[in-house]
Every structure is written in structure tokens, then in C-alpha cells.
Structure 1
Amino acid sequence: MSNTIGNLFKGDKGIWMVFFFLCIVSIVEVYSASTMLTYKGGSYIAPILKHIFLLGLGLTAMVVTANINCGYFKVLTPFMLFGAILLLAVVFFIGSATNGAQRWINIGPIQFQPSEIAKGALILSTAQILSSLQTEKGADPRAFRYILWASAGIIPLIMSENLSTAALLSAVILMMMFIGRVPMKQIGKLLGTVVILGAFMLSMIMVFGHAEENPKADKQNLTELVQKENKEKKEKTIMGSVFHRFDTWKGRIEKFLDGKELTPKDVDLDDDAQESYAKVAIATSNVVGKGPGNSDQCDFISQAFSDFIYAIIIEEMGIEGAFGVAMLYIILLFRTGRIASRCESSFPAFLAMGLALLLVTQALFNMMVAVGLAPVTGQPLPLISRGGTSTITNCIYIGVILSISRSAKRKQELVVEPMPQSSDASESSPISTITNTDNASKTDNAGE
């Protein structure tokens, strides 16, 4: 029985332990934070059952992926890249909108977010480009150009509706180029260009965006506002579909940059509900937390089970629980780094590190938003927040890392073994020999 389970759950045991701990935290906290869904659906158990079902699908997809030889991922690169660009183009024109953002495609009862697939496709493409153009002195200068071409087909389409996802993905690609030894001169030019374009983009947002006004201020004109909104939707053009998110972005930037301290009576819990109640949740944790299932603020945070679940974790589990969750992601990154360092081929090493950086960067950013260190965005906490496409795709990404830890050929290591000395040998002149050992023939896992 144990051999059967071992054959099923292959790969680095440390990664598996991190995954299962994250799933346990996810089930407990999503159940606690799903008050709003419970109220809407009229069932306490339905939201968590759906979440467990999605985690089960993700686990199944992860096990299947982990049992695929990592060499086959190279074959998927062109298909993944072309498919991701096609899906992003489709969602750009006919995607369905939720909370003011047009990011989803509906196929019957199934709703999925193409940007989650596109992130993995771009990382896969970048890993293959870097590995194919590696030289003894680093990456060939052509790799930089090819990565930019691949990114140009993905990132702008994501950015039109999800600026934070595009920014995080760009940061991950930049870190991959640094790890892949792309010439620093090229990286420096890219950073300079990004700063200039970022300043231009920020100025465009601040000039053309209109911060959302307090809806309570003009309730008597609600009918007129609805009619105006419907008219704007009818007159919406392609350019309008690109810039309509400026209002939301400007409002979030202004709130984040507004450093003035508000007195309790000046806080608008209707306009700033998420941020305000998240701060209340953290402040009332009393360091040690209230205990699992005892959150009070989850009743007031609309995305408590998703974007702000880390605030609920702090409220219920205290500082120690929050630190423990953060450490799980750090352990994931370091275990993946160890796996990558043992790969003989550069492609699986780059791919594993890219996916780990993607998960950890998103997790850290979500935590920063929850504690007020970054502007509010729609980034869920990977493998913990309640989600559909994101939950399953993140499980697949973990499965790819496990596949690499299991099937990637490992480097030959030099082992120094002392030669047995004869009885008349001088003790002052030790003799040793160097023998090559091929770790790929061992049965233990690459990450262990």
C-alpha cells in the first residue's frame, strides 16, 4: 500500500509537505471567511464543499503533471504560447466582466481566466529561450530580443484589464533573465525603458482617469447615473475598452499615496470597506489571534475569502500563524532553488525557478496588500484563496516543479574518497582520489 502511494505522489517530499499545509490552511480559512457566500447562497456547507472540490481537481491535475517527464514540457511551448495569445485576444473582445474587469471567458457553467494560463505559457517560453541560447559566458544577446517578442504578445493583453498581474509577471520574467545570465547591459536598458514607460503610464492614469466618487453623495441622481452608464456601454469602442480601467487604477493609487491619518469618525466604511475592515481585523488579533473560525471582520470584507484572506489569517491565527504561512512560501522557493541547482539541463532549472518565483511573488504581494503596504489589487493568495482557474493552474505549476524534481537528470557530482592506506604509509601524506558519481541513477528524489 505504501509503495502504491509513493509511486503516485512522486517528487520532492518538501514541496509536497508545503502544498498539503497550504491546503489545510486554505480549507480552514476559506470556510471561516465565506460568510458572504453563505449569506447569498443560503448554505453554510456549499461554499467550502465547492472549494474542496476545486482543490481535489487541482490535486488530481498536479499528480498527473508530476508523473509527466519534464522533457515533454518543451514540446508544449509553441502550443501554449499561441493558445494563450488567442485566449487573451478572445477575452479582450468578448470576455465577461466581473467587478468592473473583463477577464473571464464563459463556456456554459464554466468560467475561467485566460491570464492564469498565459502566465505559465510565458514562463515556459522564457525558460526554453534562455536554455536554448546559453553559452559559457551567459545567455546569447539574442535571447533578450526573443523574450521581449514573446512578452509583447502576452503582457499588453493582460495589462488592459489586470495591471497588477501584468506587473508581477513582468517582474518574474525580469528575474528569470537575471538568473539566466542575460547581459546586464541589456537588462539595464530594459529597466530604464520600463521606468520611462511606467512614468508615462502613471501620468496617463492621473490625467485621464477619474477617481470614483462616493456613491452616497449623489443617491438622488441614481437613475441618471444608471442611464449614463448604459449609454457609455453602448458607445464603448476598442480604445475605450483599453482605458476604461483608468478610473479604478487612479482611485487606488490616490488612496495608497494619501498618507494622512484618518480619525475613526472620518473613515468611510462604505467607500473603503475592504481596507478599513482588514485593518480592524489585524488590529483586533491581539497578536495571538482569536482562533480558527472566530473571525468577526469576515462578515464585512467582500473578498475576505480571496483578496483579503491574509487579514483573516492574521485575525484568527495571530502573528505566529501569519509568519508560518509566509514561511511556507519561502520554503517553497528555497526547495525549488535546490531542485534547480541539481538539474543537469538548464531548461528544467529555469522553468522550476520561474514558476516558483511566480507563486511566491504573487503571495508576498497579496500579503502586502492585506497589511496596507501596497495598493489594493485583485491578486489572490496562491493555493489558499478561494478560486477556480487560479486554484487549478497553481496546482499544475506545483506539479511541474514536482515533475522536474523527479525526472530531470541531475548533475554529476565530484566526490572525494580517501584511499585506504597501507600499514607502512606515512600518516603525514594523505592520498585521495576523485570519483564521478552519477546521481541520476539513484532512486532518491532530486529535491531530497
Structure 2
Amino acid sequence: MLINKPPDNFKLLDIPLVLALLVLLSFGLLAVFSATQNANPAIANNFSKQLVWVLVGLVVFTITMLTPLKVFQKYAYIFYGISLALLVLVLVVGGGAGVKRWFLIGPFRFQPAEVAKIATIFALARFISQEHRNLNKLIDIGLAFAIVVGPMLLIMKEPDLGTALVFPAIILPVLFWAGLSLFTAFLIIAPLLSLVAAFNLTAFFIVMGIIIGVMVVSGRGLKVIVPNFLLNVGVGIITPLLWDHLHKYQQSRILTFLGVEQDPRGIGYQVLQSKVAIGSGGLWGKGIGDGTQTQLRFLPEQHTDFIFSVIGEEVGFLGVLLVLLLFLFIIWRSLNIAQSCKSRFASLVVVGAAMVICFHVMINTGMTVGIMPVTGLPLPFLSYGGSAMLSNMVLMGLIVGAGLRRFEYF
């Protein structure tokens, strides 16, 4: 059976985790209501739409929770293949304002990248959980990265850099949870450090010195030091070429974030208005529907990307703190579930799901206060949007469902 309802297992239902989810959904509905009331007709009915998506999401959450994880394990590669096909198809027939991210189905928009995140978690977890896999072997690590790189490159082609960055956030924690050594993890992260440092020659030399120093101190021979040194030098050389292939708006967002490009009426304006909104909320907030930045429409994309700013202005610091604590609680409980799962596949799926949620929260909340670039990533369970809501509810269903079956081995 695809859906199983084992009564005995419901004593393992993580009720506090479910309650935390429901509270976040309630916060999101209140924020979307406030952000869209008295708005122009194009978004005036978005609250009612979001309410429908939340209700549908709860049904999806329940179905996912009741579906045994071994079903997802069995069909993991099929799900993954379908998601890749959808990502290719959207590049051909997808719609959007100058981008190809969605399938336009009547009044609805379906974003296959959301499906790809879940399918990639399944495929990666199944691959790593196979008994003959050895994360000390370069071939197995390379194949694991290949599973992630495929959908990531297709999503970058749409282009959607923000969503593409979710995939590295999946693989590194999952590999580490699966037993990847700290040194190997360092070798994986080192090229990322080289990439960032490549824009400044002094910083690049410092990073290269650190990389060589770590390898020497750890007692590695020339067979390890030389190829890794050449790899990181290569990353430093190729970075300017990759930069030239980014779209202008992507370059602008990164430069504005780094403070290199001043943009008071573009991306910088969005962040400025967001910081004003959050700062003006004070301790208790101005009240639902009474935020001046929100109600006067100074806050851009306030019902989607900047929903956290609406909460900060209208519910204040205490409301923001509660939201962040709820997210932190969800991640903590998820990792507890992952640790208690007897099934390696289930444990890795939970970690992957938790890291997707965690990454979205870090990037979205960070961009609203100017410490992260504006990427367009929604805030899970709070931002307006059907595809993101449903995919996040699937992730939560997987986490809670794994908790129900934590003592099953498969």
C-alpha cells in the first residue's frame, strides 16, 4: 500500500513539531492578509488563494506523512528522472517574465524546481544509503555530487540562481551526516572559498595559504596536496569567466550585497525599505494591518520575498523572535528524528529536508536585514505561493512521517 496508517505508531507523532508548523502557517496567513488588504486588484485576492494553498498543503502533508518512506526509497530514481525531465521541459515551453521557471496551467503557475528539490533528496539519500557506498572513495563522492549538480545547472539556466543555491546546501550536510570526514568536507568547501576570494588577489593568496597549510598539518602527501592546489587555482582562474556569464541582474544583486555597487532605487532600495519596516516595528510592533511601510506599499514584494519584513513591522521584535525560534525548534526536532531513525535512508531524507528549510530561512531572513543577497527565495510556510507551500509541506510530511517510523529498518 502506498499509504499506511499504523495506529500503534501514532504514539510517536511529534505533536510539538506539528504545532510549531501550524503556528507558522497562522503567522503566514496573518502576514499575507495584512500585506494584500487594500492592495491593487491584481493581488487583492491573494489571501484567499493562500488560505486554499494552506488547506491543500495540510492534506498533502498528511498524505506524505502516512506514506511509508520505503515507497519513496523504491521509486527515488524514477522521481528524480521525472524531475529532470520537467526541468528540461520548462526551459522549452515554460512561461515567465523573461525567464522560464514555471509551467502556466490556466490561472496557476507550477514551478518544477520545487519538485526537483524533493526528488534530489530522495535520489541522494538512496544512493548514499546503499551498503556498498564508501564516502572515502572519490568516485562515490563524485557520483553524489553529480546527482545534485544536474538539477542545479538546469535551474541556473532558467535562470534562478537563488533556488540553484539550495542544492549545495543539501549535499554538504547530508554527506557529513552520512559519515564524510572533516578533512574531506574541507576539501569540498575549499573551492567555494577560492571562488569567493578570487575577486581579490590578496584574499585569494591568503585562502590558498590556508588550504595548503591545512593539508600539510594534516600530514597529507604530494598526491593529495598538488591536485587540490591545482583545482583551487583553477577555480580562481575560471571565476571571472563564470561571472561574465551571469545575468546583469544577478551581478547587480551580488555587487549590491557586497557594497560594491550602490543601488538606492533598485535592489538596495528593497533592502532599505525592508530594514526601515523591521526597525520601525519596535518591540511589540504596530499591529496587524497598521504597518505604515506595509500599508503604504513602500515595501516591495511584501507578500512574497519580504513577508518577514511585514511580520517585523506589525508584530515587532517579539513576533520576529517567536518566528525564528519556531524555525529553530523545527530544525532541532528534525535532527533529533534523523538521529533516532533506524533506516539510513530515512535519516538522510530528514536531514536533507531540514537543510532545505534551514537554508531558505537563513537566506530569506538574512536578505530582509541586508546581510544576505536578494535571491527571491521564499520564507517557508509564510511567503505567498502555491508551489513553495506544497513542496515545504511535503518536506514536513517526510520529517514527521520518518518520526512515526523511526524504529523501522529498511
Q: What TM-score bracket applies, with the shorter chain setting the length?
A: 0.7 to 0.9
Aligned partner of 2:385: which letter?
G
Which residue of structure 2 aligns with residue 130 of structure 1? Answer: 128
Q: CA 1:347–1:134 in structure 2 vs 1: closer, same or farther (change >3 Å)?
A: farther
Which residue of structure 1 aligns with residue 156 of structure 2? Answer: 159
Aligned partner of 2:305: which letter?
D
Gaps of 5+ in 1: 209-242, 412-448
Superposition pairs of residues 45-444 of structure 1, within 5 angstroms? 46-98=45-97, 100-133=98-131, 142-160=139-157, 161-196=159-194, 199=198, 203-204=240-241, 208=244, 243=245, 246-258=247-259, 268-269=264-265, 272-298=268-294, 299-409=297-407
C-alpha displacement of 1:94: 2.5
C-alpha displacement of 1:381: 0.2
The 8 Å contact of residues 205 and 249 in structure 1, kept in 2 or not, is answered as no
Instruction: Deviation per CA, 1:381-432: give whole Å up to 9, x if none.
Output: 0111000101011111111111111123259xxxxxxxxxxxxxxxxxxxxx
Rg larger in 1 or in 2?
1
C-alpha displacement of 1:341: 1.5
Q: Partner of 1:154: helix, strand, or coil?
A: helix
Aligned partner of 2:32: which letter?
V
Q: CA 1:191–1:60 in structure 2 vs 1: closer, same or farther (change >3 Å)?
A: same
Identity between Structure 1 and Structure 2 (%): 26
Question: Would you say how many aligned residue pairs link Structure 1 and Structure 2?
Answer: 363
TM-score (norm 2): 0.81
C-alpha displacement of 1:115: 0.7
Q: CA 1:360–1:270 in structure 2 vs 1: closer, same or farther (change >3 Å)?
A: closer
Residues of 2 paired with 1:270 and 1:279: CA distance? 15
C-alpha displacement of 1:187: 3.1
Which residue of structure 2 aligns with residue 27 of structure 1? Answer: 29
Q: CA 1:8–1:343 in structure 2 vs 1: closer, same or farther (change >3 Å)?
A: closer
Residues of 2 paired with 1:329 and 1:304: CA distance? 20
Residues of 1 paired with 2:364 and 2:188: CA distance? 26
The 8 Å contact of residues 205 and 246 in structure 1, kept in 2 or not, is answered as no
Aligned partner of 1:69: which letter?
P
Q: CA 1:6–1:380 in structure 2 vs 1: closer, same or farther (change >3 Å)?
A: farther
C-alpha displacement of 1:129: 1.6
Residues of 2 paired with 1:293 and 1:50: CA distance? 19
Residues of 2 paired with 1:367 and 1:88: CA distance? 27
The 8 Å contact of residues 277 and 293 in structure 2, kept in 1 or not, is answered as yes
Gaps of 5+ in 2: 1-6, 199-235
Instruction: Deviation per CA, 1:204-231: give whole Å up to 9, x if none.
Output: 465x3xxxxxxxxxxxxxxxxxxxxxxx
Residues of 1 paired with 2:131 and 2:138: CA distance? 8
Please state which structure has a larger fraction of its residues in helix.
2
Aligned partner of 1:375: which letter?
P
Residues of 2 paired with 1:284 and 1:318: CA distance? 8
Residues of 2 paired with 1:9 and 1:155: CA distance? 39
Q: Partner of 1:106: helix, strand, or coil?
A: strand
Residues of 1 paired with 2:170 and 2:370: CA distance? 22
C-alpha displacement of 1:149: 2.1
Moved more, 291-300 or 342-351: 291-300
Residues of 2 paired with 1:28 and 1:287: CA distance? 18
Residues of 2 paired with 1:269 and 1:350: CA distance? 43
Aligned partner of 2:26: which letter?
I
Q: CA 1:7–1:292 in structure 2 vs 1: closer, same or farther (change >3 Å)?
A: farther
Q: CA 1:165–1:42 in structure 2 vs 1: closer, same or farther (change >3 Å)?
A: closer
The 8 Å contact of residues 8 and 63 in structure 1, kept in 2 or not, is answered as no
